[in-house]
Structure formats: structure tokens, C-alpha cells
Structure 1
Amino acid sequence: MTAAINIETAKARRESVARRFIRRPAGAVSLSILVLVVLVGLLAPWLSPYDPNFVNLKITKAPPGADHWLGGDSSGRDVLSRLIWGTQTTLYGALLAVATGVITGVPAGVAAGYFGRATDRICTWISDALQAIPGMIILLIVAAGTGADFTIIMITVGVFMAPGYFRIARSAALAVRNEPYIDAARVAGLTDLRIMGRHVVTAVYAPIIIQTALTAGIAMGLQAGLQFLGIGSASIPSWGAMMNDGFRNMLTEPLLLLWPAAALGITIAVLAVMGSTLADLVVVRKPAARSTRKSRQRTRREFAPATGMMVHAPEKAAARIENLRVSYAGHGGDVEVVHGISLDMAPGEVLGIVGESGSGKSQTVFSLLGLLPAGGHATADGIWIDGREVTRMGSAERAGLLGRTIGYIPQEPMSNLDPCYTIGHQLVEPLRSVLKLPRAEARRTAVAMLERVGIVDPERVMNSYPHQISGGMAQRVLIAGAVAGRPSLLVADEPTTALDVTVQAEVLELLRELQQEYNMALMIVTHNFGVVADVCDRVVVMQHGNIVEVGEVEQIFGRPAQAYTGELIRASLDGSDSRSQLDAQWNKSNSMQEVAP
């Protein structure tokens, strides 16, 4: 299974978690109690029989009675009224602390996990520093400096809780930032902010909800502890202040301590049970399993020019690469995997880059797209796309080419669609971001593109989730998204590898039709000469990071200059995925050789 979440459906999960939670006795009971506590806090002005600060000396330490159901405290105030108003105070304090923790910790964690490198180091250092600071001492200093202002104290508590949210958000972001659908979103032209808000946050919200249930209980405990110590305004009724009064009179009036302690204990226990139950029900997204494909830990890299001399590409070149070198940092120094290759494409040309696994063809394409894996570094005398030199562009300008000038079709279509969003959402969002279309127009464009790529019922597909469509249909969806911006260059990375033979032929025919219809340059990365025979005009053969042969398709099939090329052709002929067209091309080329003088 290549989906990022191992569940029956992403939509069903969102719809059924609440129902499954309620069906569990622990979930139903804890939720009911929490709802009751919240209602008591919200309705305190109407539920409280007396003003919580009204003093009646006649009921000083009075036992429970008809007029005062829970009796009076040591100052002659009604215990039930103070308990009800204390519920509101406790909930308000917990909300302040949790909101502060979420607002400060989650964005920092998502940014650290998504960007990594310097951002991760800085945010992690700040988080570790907050954890190392003695929080209680800081709280006492804040209380003394602000006159025990309740709001400021609880915000300070939230700041010290932010590292917990930071670690969870960072871990969740790290788990999904290398997912293929994140790469697909980048190449579609979405900004980092949109990707984090739309795709990364969906992996964060579930553990954050669980953490919030547990953190709220901790915040309530800290709040009550501070108030128990006498930190806070005496005019604000709270469970902690009531516990302080009860503790001082514990030997003579033990009930004064029982009521607030029971309310606090039950509420914290309810939150803990809810968090534990949610943790059992919510499946946090994990990285998709990779089978035959290498890990795709992409990150944006800017090119460094290999020399001071810049080569000028023809104005009409769809793509051109001069002296590209790609290397990776290793323990023994940099390891070069692409060794100074050069290639070019004319507008409207279909170019096949062929080679076995590890030949450097994918590294070349990722360098062209600006999406090298982490640790990768590319240098080149020049790289041009649609006549524009891109190696000296800034990251923002370079990213602006994606989705509009360059389209990208990845392999493993199911892994490149976010299982948490509908197909329509994933097609409409890039159109709105890249082409700046209104939502309604973007949706109409997406529906039209689905129709164009051969999907019979586009409206149904627009409302479907990735698991609800077939692999071939998912590949057509990705093709629709790639060509929606009318790019001048379309890059297809092993576009048929994950599909069966029948669907492969249909997808290749569709690519050829779209290439001719929109007059795009089409670059196909493949290990299979059958794909080359089907659609390509010209072939670049790569081995060990070098280009070993370049030529027209008929010339390569008829008279391969290198033995390696002949081996690749024979392997495709003998393989289970060979095509009749490849056989015909091979036979035609051999016949031409036999009659040649």
C-alpha cells in the first residue's frame, strides 16, 4: 500500500472518529462530563444562586443546608456559588494557556520540520531553552511583577507549554515533508506557506488535539497550584483559592477542601481519559512505504555556476543544460553522481532520457526542476528553460516557473495525491495559486482538464478522494494538473511504471496527444525502451552519471553506437512490459541494416 495513511478512507476517518469515540464507554462518559463542566462555566451567571464574593457572616463554616447546598466557607461566602464561578475561571485559564501554547509552538514546529536546516536548529534551540528554564520561578517573578495578573500568568504558563506542541508539530511535519504529494504540490507551483497550511497541518492537527486534551489538564493543575499558594486576586473565585481555604480548615471543616479538590480532580481525569481514547482512535499519518524507488527527500537548492563563463542558450530552446554536475555530501567528502553532462531540447520535441537505476537520469531531472534531495548540490555553466537562464534566479523567482513554465508528472500516482483532500481540492488549489483564478473559474478549468484527459465522470472524480479512484485514473488526474497551466516544458518521471500494460499504453497515447495539442516540449524519464519507441523523437542514454549516447529514435534502434544501449534495448524486448511497437521498431531497424550496402 502506497497511501500515506493506512486506513480505509481518509474521508471516512474524519466522519467516523467522533462516532467511534462516542461508542466507547470511556469516550462517551468523559465527553458528557466535560460538556457538563463547560456548560456550568458558561452559564455561571445564571446557575450561581449567590454572588460568589458576597459575605454573610451567619454562614461562616456553615454545613450544607437547604439555602446553601454546599455550606459556607471560612469568610461566610456560599461554597456552591464560588465552585460554579471557579469553573469559569479554571476553564478560562486553561484556554489561555492552551491557546498560547498552540499559537507559539505549532507554527514553529511545522516550520522547523518542513524547512529543516537553520530553521530547525534555531527553533529547537529555543524550545530546549524554554524547557531548561525553571518555570515555577519565572511564574513567581511574573506574578510579582504584574501584581498577580491572572491573564498574564496563564499566558506565561502557555509559553512554557509551547515546547510540547513544538515537538509534536515538528515530528509530524518531518514525517510528511518528504511525501511525494508534497513534492507534487511544490512542482504544481504552490508556495511553502500554502503547502504547510494545506498539506502539512493535516498531519499535525490529530496529535495536537490529543496533546491539547492532556495539556489543558496540566494547565488546570498549575493554575490551581498557584492559586493554592495565594498567587492571584482574592476577588476572583477559583478552585485553587477554595482549596487553600479548605486546607487551612481541613481538620474542622473537611468538606471545604473536598468540593474544589473533587471538581479539579474529576475534570483533569476526564481530560486525560479523552486524550488517551483519542490517541487510540486517531491514526497519525506516516511516511509512505517505498518499494523500488529511492527516498525522495527533496529540498530546494539553488544552482551555483560551475565556471565564470556563462553559455548563452538559443532563445527558442525549450530546455538546455550545460556542464551539469550533481554531488552529495558524504563522510569521505562529496560524491559526484552526475559528471558534467549537457543536453538540449527544441520546442515541441519529445526527448527520452533512458538508463538503468542509478544512471543519473532522475538526478538530472530534479536538478532541472530545482528539487534535488537533501544534501544534494548542483553546479552548471548554465540551465535554460523556455529560453530563460535559471541558475542565477532567486528561489522565489525559480519557484514561479513551476506549474506555469514547467509541468511535472511523477511516478507512483497514488503517493503523489494527498489522501486527506479531494481530487477537486488538489486540482483547484494550484490553479488559484499559480494562475490566480477565482475559485469558481478554477473549478471549471479543473473539470474541463479532467474531461480532456479522458475521465468520463469528472464531477464525481472532483468530489472523490485518492483511494476512491484507480491508479490509471490517478495518473490522468496528475497529468491534468501538470498541463492545466499550459507549460512549455512537461517533465514525466517514469509516468507508466506503476501502471499495468493496458493503462500504460493509454497514458502514453494521452501524453503524446497533449504534447501535440499544446505544442509542449515533453521530457520522459524511463528505463524502458518500449516507452521511447511509443512516443519519443530523440533519445539520451545515460550510465553512471554520464551521457553515453544521443540520437534519433530510429538511429538508436538501428545502429546503437554503444553496447550498453543495445543491452537496454534487448532487455526491454525480453522484458514482460515490452510492446509490439518496440518489436516492430526493432525489426524495421534490423531490416534496414540488412539491406544497407
Structure 2
Amino acid sequence: MNEGEGRVNAPSTVRRGALGRLARNPLGLVSAAVLALIALAVLLAPVLVSQPPDASDLRHAFAGPSGGHPLGFDSAGRDIWSRLLYGGRTTLSGALISLAVSLLLGVPSGLVAGYRGGRLDGLASWIANLVMALPAMIVLLASRAVLGSTVWVLMVVLGVLVAPAFFRLVRGIVVQVRGELYVDAARVSGLGDARIIARHVLVVVRGPIIIQIALVAGIAIGLQAGLEFLGIGSGDTPTWGAMLNEAFQNIQRSPALMLWPGLALGLTSGALVLLAGALRDVLEDRTGGGSGRARRRAVPVPAAAPVPADTVPADPADAASADPAAAAAEDHGPAGRATLLSVRGLAVGYRLPDGSDREVVHDVDLDVAPGEIVGLVGESGSGKTQTAFSVLGILPEGGRILRGGILLDGQEVVGLPERRRRALRGGMVAYVPQEPMSNLDPAFTVGSQLVEPIRVRLGLSRKQAVQRALDLLSLVEIADPERTFRSYPHQISGGMAQRVLIAGAMSCEPRLLIADEPTTALDVRVQAEILELLRRLQREHELGVLLVTHNLGVVADLCDRVAVMREGRIVETGTAEQVLHAPADPYTRTLLEAVLDHVPAREPWQPRKVVVP
């Protein structure tokens, strides 16, 4: 097998490793063995017993063990071993039905309500609270009276009653996870909501769901046994609860009759809980994910991978000639140049409890041309990030654009449906966030997180996407791309994580890059390396870059033009040399006075000259 095949089959290796860790867990191994024995005995009941469970012979009432009857007989002369195994079929099948119904109702609704929020979340939570307020035993008794004593029907009703437990568990976790930075990063990369939920959200709730499954299964088994014990179950059908009822009626004459169904109930419930805990620990344990020695090989500097035609943005000049909106965008651009990004009169606000809006960004005008780096500068809370998030369409919950327009390559995106806006992310515009470690999902390897958007956006096969991801890691100057590809985020440094995020942003050949404080969490040496990397990528790929920062040293080193922001407004715009050496606004002078090192601004941006042969 070649190296490429080894990388493609890495997930199966991880699964085998998980099974191996489970086999090395004593509690997990023993509980799995107990459950397997119980399941096999129940399934093979016709083979393991010598007579049907309802065959009665009063001459053998309360008789002890004998050949073919290892547990003896009950008060009606029926074989206890036969009734125990056949009763397990009914009891466990009923629990599985109840569990399946509760999972199908509770988990998807909890995922969607928690992720979407808003009115859907409110309605779903109200329904869940209403169902949880119903007394389960009384509802089951009423259902028996109306629907009959069939155990399967009662277990479906029980599944509906238990579903809110899954809903509330899943919803509570998802509400916390949906605000994580790695979820925003996945959204900006162009992944749809369904894929984000299945990939980045569901993996977070799987551990608690496994534990809840064991608890709900135990509750279903216990409630079913309780109904049968009270004599209101499914009549003559053998179940563990019916056996307990019969044993309790004869407890003074033969107390041992209580032992076998009680032991079966206890062993099953206990093994379920122990196995669930072991499975949860195995799935959440990622200490061995990238610990193996990775084979090193030279990875060539990438040539641009073929990109499907429908993902390549049109040339701005052609768009301007065919689209009046694009022509208008050209007029807005600095010095009459075509613009990748043109923001006009942008206002952003957040809805208050009284229904009014608190405006945090006021009438912002901003332009970024191809091959130009524009710095958006201001202190914390000045509205820089809110402006960037508005361009990307990922404002936090409650935020919305109150007025103004945003043109991306001549296309108005304010009011654009989410599906069409998602098509622009990753391809036309990409995002490099701050806090690199928080923007990588700790549940997946670095390579997995790079490959997924490439496959979705570019339609490449897994093997092609893996190779492109390795090439991108080489492009951002990571010394050992294969090792980094196989590592989890906690196994790499902050500087390397930032390089990974830049590689992800460049994965689908964007034309506009929005970098939000890309060096804030890094030390000085790594900051310089990241800035040099951004400068090289911008120069080689003719990127337009909007750099959101509060660091005037970064602005002097990297930016062509600067827009200074204060309290949600642009107070000054100009070339980096003008703004840093001859500021016109008092606030800009205040920012410059706070800088200890006086760094000269870089040379002003000049459009690339086209040589016509």
C-alpha cells in the first residue's frame, strides 16, 4: 500500500484504535461481554430451552432444578429458564422500541432547535416542557385503557414521553456549541448547516447521548417491568416484570423465584450504564490520534489544483461590462479602480428586549481592490469585527444589517439568501480568524478539517482533496505537512494552527481575504513569520486583503491603505503613509501617540502593470 492510500484509510485506523482501547478497558470489556451473553441467550431461546414458556404442569409446581430445567419451575409448573429467556425477548424488544422512538424524536429536534434558535427553539422547548410535565405512569395506564395492553404500543407511548429528555440534553449542548469559533469557521468555509450539524455539532453531543441512551434504556426496562409487576401489562406474555409479579405472590413459599428476573433486570441495566461510560471515554479519548511516527517525504510546492468552472469568480472587468451593479462598484473604488469589496453606508444593530435596535456600526464606507491590503484599525469595541462579520454574513445572534450595501465583486450581498451567500464564502471571500486554537474543532484532525471544505467546495475526490490539503500545508511553510495533517489541534503550536487556518482560507482560491487580528495570540517572532506569509500569498495570488487589527505596527508593515474606526464610525481613510505620518483626525493622532516604536509605512500600493505583447 502506498503512502497516499495510507492517508485515505486513516479514519478506519482510528476506528480500529477505538475498538482496541475499548477492549483494554476492564469495565467496558466485562459489561460488553455480559450484554452480549444476555442478547445471545435471548435470541437463541428456542435452541436453549426444552419446552415453551407457557407450557404448564401443576405436578411440577415449585419443583427444583432437574435435567433440561436448570432453574426449576414456578407456581404454575412452567419452566423458569424458558420464561426467563422468552421474557427477555419481550422486555428488551420493548425497551429498544421505546429507545428508538425517543431518539428519533428527541435528538434531531434538539439539534435543529439548538442550532437554529429563535421561534423554532421556543416552540420546540414549549412542547418538550409540556410532555415532561405529564406523569408517565398515569399516561401509560390511560394508554393501556384506550389502546389495549399490547406491550409494543405502551413502549411507543413511553418513547414519546421520554423524548424530551434527549431533546433538552442535546439542545442545551448545541446552544453552547453553536457560538464556538470553529463552528463560525466552518460556516465561513462554505459548509451548509446540515453538514456543520452532522460534523461539528453532533460529535460534541455523542458522548452525553450515549450515557442518556443507557439511562433511558434502563428506565424503559424498569417502567415496563413495573407495569407488569402491578399486573397491568400484556397478559400471559412472558416478561421479566410478569415473573416478578408471580414471584412476589408466592414469596413466602419460594423466595428464590424473585432471584432470576431480578438478577436479569439488574445485570442488564448495570451493564448498559458501564458500557455506555466506557464507550463515551473511548470516543472522547484522542491522546493517540497523532502520536505515531509520521513518515517524512518532500512535498512539492503546489500548482493550483483544477477548480470547477462554476466556483471560479468572473473577472471583475468582464463583470463590470455585463452588470451595471459591477460598473457602479468600479466607480466606488479608490482612484477609479475596480473593487473586490465595496461597503457603502453600512449600519449594524442588535435587537434589544423592548424591540428597538442598538446601532453599533454607523454609515461605514470601505473599499478593497485586487492586490491591495487595507487595514481597518481601531481600539477594542470600535466596530471593526462587526464590520468584517457583516461582509461575511456571520453576525452573532441578534445582530443584523440595518441599512447600507455590501458589494462583493459587484454582487450585492445584503439581503441575499443564505444559500447563495454561502456559495461566496470560501471561494470569492475567505476568512482568517484570531485565536487559532479556538477556530479548529478539537474533535477532528487538522487534515480532516482541511479536506472537508475542499471536497464540498471543489467537488474533488477524497484522495485529490488529501493531496491538495498536504500541498496547502507546504504552501504555508509547515515543515512536516504529513505529521501536521494527522495531528489534532492540541498537538500543534499556536503559530502552526494559524498557518493551518491560512491554508484553509486559501484552499478554494479566494480573491478576497478577511484577516481578523491574525497575529494577536502569537509571540513576536511568530507574528513576523505570519505577516511575511500573508504578504507573500497576497503578492503571489493578487489577493485583496482586509486586515482587521488594532496594531499600528502591523499596519505600517503590511497595509497599503488604512481606515481608522472609532465608536462604530470611520473617522479617517488614506494611504498608510498619509495616515501614519500626517494623521488628520485627533483620534488617529491619539492612537499613534500610544505606539512606542515608530515604524515607517510600507510603500503605497501600485496596480500591476500589464505588458501587451
| TM-score, normalising length: structure 2 | 0.82
1:71-96 CA distance string (max 9 Å, x none): 22233321111112222322222222
Question: Does residue 1:439 correspond to 2:462, yes or no?
Answer: yes
The answer as to 2:290 corresponding to 1:268 is no
CA distance in 1, matches of 2:68, 2:178: 62
Q: Structure 1 stretch 61-70 or stretch 507-516: which is displaced more?
A: 61-70
Deviation, structure 1 residue 102: 1.6
Structure 2 stretches lacking a partner, 5+ long: 1-12, 287-324, 332-337, 605-613
Which residue is equivalent to 2:490? 467
- Give 1:327 shift: 1.8
Code of the residue aligned with 1:110 in structure 2: it is L
Q: Tell me, yes or no, if structure 1 residue 379 matches structure 2 residue 380.
A: no
Map 1:291-370 onto structure 2 (within 5 A).
312-314=328-330, 316-330=338-352, 333-370=356-393
Residue of structure 1 equivalent to 2:569: 546
Cα 1:478–1:220 shift into 2, 3 Å: same
Contact 1:179 1:415 in 2 (8 A): yes
Q: Does 1:417 align with 2:435?
A: no
1:525 aligns to 2:541 (yes or no)? no
Cα pair distance change 1:272/1:345, threshold 3 Å: closer
Q: 1:532 to 1:13 in 2, by over 3 A?
A: farther
Within a 5 Å distance, the mapping from 1:487-506 to structure 2 comes to 487-506=510-529
Contact 1:165-1:208 within 8 A present in 2 as well: yes
Root mean square deviation, CA, Å: 3.0
> Residues 476 and 522 of structure 1: is their aligned pair in 2 closer, same or farther, counting only changes over 3 Å?
same
Amino acid at match of 1:567: T
Q: Which residue is equivalent to 1:218?
A: 219
Do the aligned partners of 1:322 and 1:380 also contact (CA within 8 Å) in 2? no
- Aligned-partner residue type, residue 344 of structure 2: E
| Matched residue, 1:456 | 479
Q: So what's the TM-score if we normalise by structure 1? A: 0.84
Mapped to 2, the partners of 1:283 and 1:453 lie a distance apart of 30
How far apart, in 2, do the equivalents of 1:277 and 1:519 lie? Answer: 52
- Alpha-carbon offset, residue 181 of structure 1: 0.5
SS of residue matched to 1:392: coil
Flag the 1:413–1:325 CA change in 2: closer, same or farther, 3 A: same
Is 1:557 aligned with 2:580? yes
The CA deviation at 1:270 is 4.2
Relative to structure 1, the CA distance from residue 113 to residue 264 in structure 2 (aligned partners, 3 Å threshold; closer, same or farther) is same
Shift of 1:412: 0.7
Name which of 418, 426, 430 aligns with 2:449. 426
Q: Decide whether the 8 Å contact of 1:21 with 1:277 is kept in 2.
A: no
- State the alpha-carbon separation in 1 of the partners of residues 473 and 581 from structure 2: 38
Worse-superposed segment, 113-122 or 192-201? 113-122
- CA displacement at 1:134 relative to structure 2: 3.3
CA distance in 1, matches of 2:16, 2:173: 18
| Cα offsets for 1:417-442 (capped at 9, x unmatched) | 00110111101111122222222222
> Does structure 2 retain, via aligned residues, the 8 Å contact 1:321–1:380?
no
SS in 1 for 2:406: strand
Query: Counterparts of 1:88 and 1:244 in 2: how far apart (Å)?
Result: 18
Please give the per-residue CA displacement for 1:326-384, whole angstroms capped at 9, x wherever unaligned.
22234675322211111222222211101111111111111111111222222233110
Q: Distance in 1 between matches of 2:482 and 2:178?
A: 30
> Secondary structure of 1:242's match?
helix
- Write out per-residue CA displacement over residues 516-557 of structure 1, whole angstroms, 9 at most, x where no aligned residue: 222221100000111112221110011111111100111122
Q: Percent identity?
A: 50
CA displacement 1:36-63 (0-9 Å, x = unmatched) = 3333323333333332233334323323
Q: How far apart are the structure 2 equivalents of 1:153 and 1:388?
A: 57
Are the equivalent residues in 2 in contact too, given 1:214–1:275 (CA < 8 A)?
Answer: no
Distance 2:568 2:404 in 1: 17
Matched, 1:476 2:515: no
Structure 1 residue 570: Cα displacement: 3.5
Query: Displacement of 1:109 after TM fit?
Result: 1.2
Q: Indicate the SS of the match to 2:599.
A: helix
Q: How many equivalent residue pairs?
A: 546
Residues 12 and 527 of structure 1: CA distance in aligned 2, closer, same or farther (over 3 Å): farther
What is the letter of the counterpart of residue 460 of structure 2?
L
Please state how far the C-alpha of 1:500 moved relative to its aligned partner. 1.3
User: Per-residue deviation at 1:19?
Assistant: 5.0
Distance 2:500 2:400 in 1: 32
- Give how far 1:154 is off: 1.6
Do residues 101 (structure 1) and 124 (structure 2) align?
Answer: no
Q: Are residue 258 (structure 1) and residue 281 (structure 2) matched?
A: no
Change (3 A) 1:27 1:487: closer
> Aligned-pair distance for 1:410?
0.1
Q: CA deviation at 1:18?
A: 8.3
Classify the secondary structure of the residue corresponding to 1:62. coil
Distance change >3 Å, CA 22–CA 463, structure 1 → 2: closer
Cα distance, 1:281 vs. partner? 9.2
For 2:53, the equivalent position in structure 1 comes to 52
Which range is displaced more, 315-324 or 32-41?
A: 32-41
- Asked if 2 retains the 8 angstrom alpha-carbon contact of 1:206 and 1:284, the reply is no
Paired with 1:142 and 1:540, the residues of 2 have a C-alpha distance of: 68
Residue type matched to 1:40 in 2? A
SS of 2:161's equivalent in the other structure is helix
Within 1, Cα distance between the matches of 2:78 and 2:15?
49
Q: Does the CA contact (< 8 Å) of 2:25 and 2:278 recur in 1?
A: no
In structure 2, the partner of 1:299 is none
| DSSP-derived class of the 2:55 partner | coil
Q: Secondary structure at the match of 1:325?
A: strand
SS of corresponding position for 1:314: helix
Partners of 2:20 and 2:132 lie apart in 1 by 34
Asked if 1 retains the 8 angstrom alpha-carbon contact of 2:211 and 2:273, the reply is: no
- CA deviation map 1:121-164 (0-9, x unaligned): 11111111111233334333443454433333222211211111
